[in-house]
Homo-oligomer: A and B are copies of this chain.
Amino acid sequence: MESLLRYFDMLCLIPKAPNSISTPEILEKLQNMRYAVDLRTVQRDLVKLSASPLFPIANTENTKPLRWFWIDNSSPMQLPMMSTDEALTFKLAEMFLEPLLPPSVRGRLTGYFDLADKRLKESKFEHWIEKVGVVPNNLPLLPAEIEPSVLAVVYEALLKSLRFKATYQAVNKSPKTYEINPLGLVFRHNSIYLVATIFDYTDVKQLALHRFKDAELSDRIVLVPTDFVLNDYIAQGSFSYPVDNHLEEITLKLKVNVFLKQMLLETPLCAKQKISDIDEKHYLLEAIVTNTKQLNWWLRSFGTGIEVLEPLELRQAFALEVKALSKMYC
């Protein structure tokens, strides 16, 4: 029994394919875990384990402190097994994320999605896929593909707080190589942006990950500008959206049609929204929300389905815009 646990811990110590760990390192770590074992034992155990198809581990046969790793990046096995509930939820999440995340990011999770697939199949629930659908409420734009090796370096750089050297091709410009000082990742639309400074300059830039041609980790540590906090940086509106300078809570009053009334009953704008009748076909909606660009987009997207009544400034802004639109289309 003792040995079972040791096997387990040993398997946990072994990293996945690109990485590896040497036999003496495993020995040392096991001894730190209070296992009184011999190097010989570790060697024997590893050979035994790798012999089983259940544990696809292998070693580098050429180097002399043998280095061990998990071979293929197939779906991980787990205890307890993934339940069918979880499996189904995974597949739903996958459908949801498909149009949102770039393939290389989603690719990091394929192991789990495959595991879910397997689970659903072996449970004879193969028809689940015909029983689930997603109706997107936004236009499916094509997410830009990111070079997987770039993503790997960026992840590592961010996690380890290291800089990296990379070739970046800005729009309509020729590629250039910079030393990037990464500060954070921001997802926006269907793209991922790296918030970073370049070389030793202090101005914060946004670099689209899909525009990096290659990347290589450096060993220089990241320098964070004083007072830089990613969330503040986003909230400030420095981030790509033309966000309003001062976000204020407003009491929104809208005249909406039946369709919107139904929708808002199910997914309210805020916890305390009120809906009352105006006439047979129109309803008054009152809600307290923050006045963001997203709100404006949302309001506009329904066209004549929504009439903004209050706040007055917003109504006037809409009136102005409608005038501009009239000129466009007449």
Chain A residues in the interface with B (C-beta under 8 A): 1, 3-5, 7-8, 11-12, 14-16, 48, 51-52, 54-55, 70, 76-86, 88-90, 92-93, 95-97, 100-101, 105, 108-109, 111-112, 120, 123, 125, 127-128, 130-144, 152, 155-156, 158-161, 171, 182-191, 208, 210, 229-231, 234, 239-242, 259, 262-271, 292, 294-298, 300-304, 307, 315, 318-319, 321-326, 328-330
Contacts and interface: CB of A to CB of B under 8 A. Distances in A.
A100 B294 CA distance: 15
Given A139-B298, A155-B85, A315-B329, A229 B130 contact: yes
A101 B100 CA distance: 14
A8 B120 CA distance: 20
B158 A128 contact: yes
Contacts of A300: 300-303
Contact of A294 (B97, B139, B188, B319): B139
Given A85-B155, A101-B96, A141 B268 contact: yes
B326 A132 contact: no
A187 B135 contact: yes
Given A133-B187, A139-B297, A319-B329, A85 B100 contact: no
B188 A135 contact: yes
B267 A189 contact: yes
A122 to B, nearest CB: 11
A242 B262 CA distance: 13
Given A97-B97, A133-B186, A134-B186, 13 more contacts: A4-B4, A8-B54, A15-B80, A77-B78, A84-B156, A85-B155, A120-B159, A133-B230, A138-B298, A139-B297, A142-B270, A304-B321, A326-B326
